[in-house]
Structure 1
Amino acid sequence: MEQLHPRDPDHIGPYRLLARLGTGGMGQVFLGRSDQPGRESDTGLGARTGTDTGTGPGPGADAGAAGHTAAVKLIHPHLAAHPGFRARFRREAAAARVVGGAWTAPVLDADPDAEVPWLATAYIAGPSLRQAVGRDFGPLPVASLRVLAQGLAYALQDIHRAGLVHRDLKPGNILLTVDGPRVIDFGIARTLEATGDPVLTQTGELLGSPGFLAPEQVYGTPVTPACDVFGLGAVLAYAATGRLPFGDPEQSGGIAALLMRVTEAEPDLSGVPAELRDLVHDCLRKDPAARPTPAEVLARAAEDAGSTEAAGDSGNAPALWLPGALIAQLGQHAVALLEREASGPDRPAPPAPAPGRVCRTIG
């Protein structure tokens, strides 16, 4: 979490802003708290708050009896100004709200008609897979990888069942909790793609991390749920090794060379545990029709695994599915959330007025 900036709003819709969470291709993300009813938020330690009844006064919100904390995404104004964006955003957000299951961070509410559109999802108080593997702890052990594969497959089943394709499954869009992985930012990538925004394309924000794109996405051909299975395979390879399976975009040739390797070369799976190497390889096949379905990923990830390594569709991973150091970090995230909720917004102190000047309030 980061301190709010002086010009950040106090509220977005029914959400009182508490802190900044980050910035992405779609907009600025805040931690927000609403006293109105909402679907559950996950502290990362299995302790959840709220009810499963929708949120706030936004479109389609339901009634309920408890407040909730959310990750609130404020859309970049230049995207909102793009012709047709709001209509697409409304359709995609409505579709994402019906995604069921326990392996995703549910969409709580959205307002495509606000002056600046926004989207709220349940807040998951845990590190992303990118942070855990790339910054803090390094590659995951095989037992964790197996649960990761199962959790992502369950999430993709739920997303695809709602008629959506994630299109941007990558380590930064996977959050870790004691109950298993949680997939975020599903269903909205198509809205971004439809803008054809050159800034996003040039900076790579639209593509996410190019090493996790399926070949058909590189070619710009119509995508199917199979593109998400390719992303799942790339994510598993990264989680197992700390490397992208088709090389780093910082290598010679940059992103263009990386995308060519995605479409033409075989992945580098050295370091992927032998038990999962064939599965990862099949997920990364160039032909979408040759990739396994999420159901097949589930079955294969569970092969030869004991019951202590099996994840269920209820959203509960085996106890201690992550290394102990990561479990400890989850506790720190949960405590930070509770402290932030208790202390209120984290804002810088206002500057002292200049001598001899009179301050007044407008409005």
Structure 2
Amino acid sequence: MDLHPGDPRRLGGYRLLGRLGEGGMGTVFLAVDDGGDGRPVAIKVIRAEYARDEQFRMRFRREAEAAQRVARFCTAQVLDVVLDGEVAYLVTEYIEGPTLAGWVAQNGPLRGSMLDSLATGVAAALNGIHAAGVVHRDLKASNVLLSRLGPKVIDFGIARALDSPVTRTDSGPVIGTPTYMAPEQFDGKITAASDIFAWGCVISYAATGRTPFGAGTPYEIMRRVTTADPDLSALETPLRDLVARALRKRPQERPSARELLLALVGDATDPMRATTKILDAADWTRPAAPGTDPPTEGGAPPAGRNV
């Protein structure tokens, strides 16, 4: 998408080429690093009304610096964070490929080694995110990219406290996308266990083309998430059993990201090496075809593909 009138043409050492998307927090641009090797990057420019807020700026810097510590494995690496006057932006690795939501909408559910690799890759990404002290808070099918090398989780841990609140409760802001939210998120409580619940929803969606608690209004979804059993009938064991554990109502009864990963790779001594072998076994050249996010997946279109 071309740049709009009034869009910046340069930010620091980056030359902006076009828009990747726009959301509640700001606008995501495709850019190149003129001061380095000319590699493409994605830059999320935060809206001025947020960037001017001192509390937001402190939180933004803290969470961005934490995100920079996340291992690159199966994630879009955070490269830089800039707070300059009223301008705030985040620079990440640019990853080419459709979102999982777009791929499933265009091609149907994933099967076989691709589904196993997706489950493993997203679990590995969460393991790295959580190890760095970051909680994603909004993992969903439109925040997973299918690159030529496998799945990559994007848009994690950055100033989520102001990003797309669904509603508010006495416990605080309710952050997330209802069809992927854990029961406790509807009370404004978010922990690493909430990401595990979202992992279960993502894998169920990838395998069936629908989320495990169905569609509807946020209230209808909330009621099902908090009181009903998920529909996992189309999943095959043993993946179905692991997804069912991830979707338990009580956060303390869900496995950790590391436990998920070890269950998927067979409790290997080196889970990262085992994950790489599983990713290599899938044909990840196919998902690089263009894909689009369906308008019904997760509500509004995502803010961008690489932040």
Shared fold per TM-score greater than 0.5? yes
Corresponding residue for 1:342?
none
- 1:294-333 map, 5 Å: 294-302=257-265, 312-313=274-275, 317-322=279-284, 327-328=285-286, 330=288
Map 1:1-363; keep pairs closer than 5 Å: 2-37=1-36, 66-133=37-104, 135-188=105-158, 191-193=159-161, 195=162, 200-201=165-166, 207-221=175-189, 223-248=190-215, 251=216, 254-302=217-265, 312-313=274-275, 317-322=279-284, 327-328=285-286, 330=288
How far off its partner does 1:266 sit? 0.9
RMSD of aligned residue pairs (Cα, Å): 2.5
Counterpart in 2 of 1:50? none
TM, length-normalised to structure 1: 0.72
Judged with a 3 Å threshold, the aligned counterparts in structure 2 of structure 1 residues 69 and 207 are, in CA distance, closer, same or farther, namely same
Pair 123,321 (structure 1): closer, same or farther in 2 beyond 3 Å: same
* Amino acid corresponding to residue 67 of structure 1 in structure 2: G
Higher relative contact order, structure no. (Cα contacts within 8 Å, ≥ 6 residues apart): 2
Q: Which amino acid aligns with 1:112?
A: L
- Larger Rg computed on CA atoms: 1
Partner of 2:303: none
Deviation digits for residues 261-316 of structure 1 (CA, Å, limit 9, x no counterpart): 11111111122223311111110001111111222212322359xxxxx9745598
| Partner AA of 2:242 in structure 1 | L
After superposition, the Cα gap between the structure-2 partners of 1:314 and 1:274, relative to the gap in structure 1 and judged at 3 Å, is closer
Query: Which structure: greater strand fraction?
Result: 2
Structure 2 segments unaligned to the other structure (5+ residues): 292-307
In the aligned structure 1, how far is the partner of 2:165 from the partner of 2:252? Answer: 29
Q: CA deviation at 1:101?
A: 3.6
User: Is the alpha carbon distance of 1:200 and 1:78 closer, same or farther for their aligned partners in structure 2, counting shifts above 3 Å?
Assistant: farther
Indicate the residue corresponding to 2:294 in structure 1: none
Q: Could you tell me whether the CA contact under 8 Å between 2:117 and 2:278 is conserved in 1?
A: no
- Normalising by structure 2, report the TM-score: 0.84
Task: Quote how far apart the aligned CAs of 1:120 are.
Answer: 0.7
CA distance in 2, matches of 1:311, 1:321: 18
Amino acid at match of 1:317: L
> Would you say how many aligned residue pairs link Structure 1 and Structure 2?
283
Residue-by-residue CA offset, 1:40-68 (whole Å, 9 max, x unaligned): xxxxxxxxxxxxxxxxxxxxxxxxxx332
Q: Name the CA shift for 1:181/1:262 in 2 (closer, same or farther; >3 Å).
A: same
Counterpart contact for 2:100–2:141, Cα < 8 Å: yes
- Percent identity, aligned pairs only, is 46
> In 2, Cα distance between the equivalents of 1:247 and 1:311?
35
Q: Shift of the alpha carbon at 1:235?
A: 0.3
Question: Aligned partners of 2:78 and 2:277: how far apart in 1?
Answer: 17
Output one character per residue of 1:179-230: Cα deviation in whole Å (capped at 9) or x when no partner: 2111111111xx232x4x7x74359x97442111111111123x32111111
Secondary structure at the counterpart of residue 117 of structure 1: strand
1:113 Cα deviation from its structure 2 partner: 2.9
Paired with 2:218 and 2:127, the residues of 1 have a C-alpha distance of 30
AA in 2 matched with 1:161: A
Indicate conservation of the 8 Å contact 2:98/2:290, yes or no.
Answer: no
Q: CA separation of 1:318/1:171 partners in 2, compared to 1, >3 Å: closer, same or farther?
A: same
